Amino acid sequence: GAGVSQTPSNKVTEKGKYVELRCDPISGHTALYWYRQSLGQGPEFLIYFQGTGAADDSGLPNDRFFAVRPEGSVSTLKIQRTERGDSAVYLCASSSDRGSTGELFFGEGSRLTVL
Amino acid sequence: AQSVSQHNHHVILSEAASLELGCNYSYGGTVNLFWYVQYPGQHLQLLLKYFSGDPLVKGIKGFEAEFIKSKFSFNLRKPSVQWSDTAEYFCAVNAGLYSSASKIIFGSGTRLSIRP
């Protein structure tokens, strides 16, 4: 596609439920990032993939969060046993490392609300 | 670990005023520096970036930023703002062995409001 696509755009769930957020990066981009943004804050780094492997997952807050990118394209962020504090906008971004501009291309985000 | 500080949380200016938004980072090694902008209802997009060379970099829409290594700063400037510059501005730093493809850390952002 022309840009980074994230689904769903909005997700409301109850505390304790399982949630999956999907990211479809720009075609050909090998690097994919997940960030979390709370109101009034900047994007908080969660995890970064280079190809299929997680190159850096140091930002995942705990073991309820994990992400996969099995074929090096689409990625899914999975949150188990959701808590109210998980409510935020989850941003996905992709980047091409060919030529290495370092520019991230962001999607519109998935707004997660945990009741 | 690297971090980014933006001390101005909300800046209010009149049209045609000059703008300077502060950004300081903490990291002793080679860094790449970015300013991203988020217009109301839109996604984050790159405004400008510094990788190497001339420390004064120019971006889109008349914005520029100056990298001052001795001060660990990368302040954003614009000589004359317009109402359409109303947005949230984020400074970001990228540091690592392969810094072009490693994690990018963002500051907390500065909300810019322009009075018409």
- pLDDT score of A79: 98
pLDDT of B97 above 80:
no
Q: Is there a contact between B101 and A50 if contact means CB atoms under 8 Å apart? A: yes
Each residue's pLDDT tens digit, A50-107: 889 888 898 999 999 999 999 989 999 999 999 999 999 999 999 886 445 668 899 9
- pLDDT score of A101: 60
Facing residue for B43 by CB, picked from A50, A55, A106 = A106
Q: How far apart are CA A64 and CA A52, in angstroms?
A: 20
- In this structure, what token pair is assigned to residue B103? 């994690």
Q: How far apart are CA B103 and CA B106, in angstroms?
A: 10
Q: Does B34 touch chain A (CB under 8 A)?
A: yes
Rounded average pLDDT over A34-40: 93
Give strand ranges (E) for chain B.
Answer: 3-5, 10-14, 19-21, 24-26, 32-38, 45-50, 56-58, 64-68, 73-78, 87-94, 104-106, 110-115
C-alpha distances in angstroms, A15 versus A18, A80, A112?
9, 10, 12
Residue with more model confidence, B102 or A77: A77
Nearest CA in chain B to A33: B103
Count of all residues that appear for chain A in the document: 115
Question: pLDDT category, B23, cuts 50, 70, 90?
Answer: very high
Each residue's pLDDT tens digit, B39-61: 998 999 999 999 888 999 999 99
- pLDDT score of A9: 96
**Least confident among A1-5, A21-25, A44-48, A71-75:** A1-5
| Whole-number average pLDDT of chain B | 90
- pLDDT score of B21: 97
Question: pLDDT category, A1, cuts 50, 70, 90?
Answer: low
Facing residue for A103 by CB, picked from B43, B49, B90 = B49
Q: Is there a contact between A42 and B108 if contact means CB atoms under 8 Å apart? A: yes
Nearest CA in chain B to A51: B101
- Cβ contacts from A onto B, under 8 A: 65
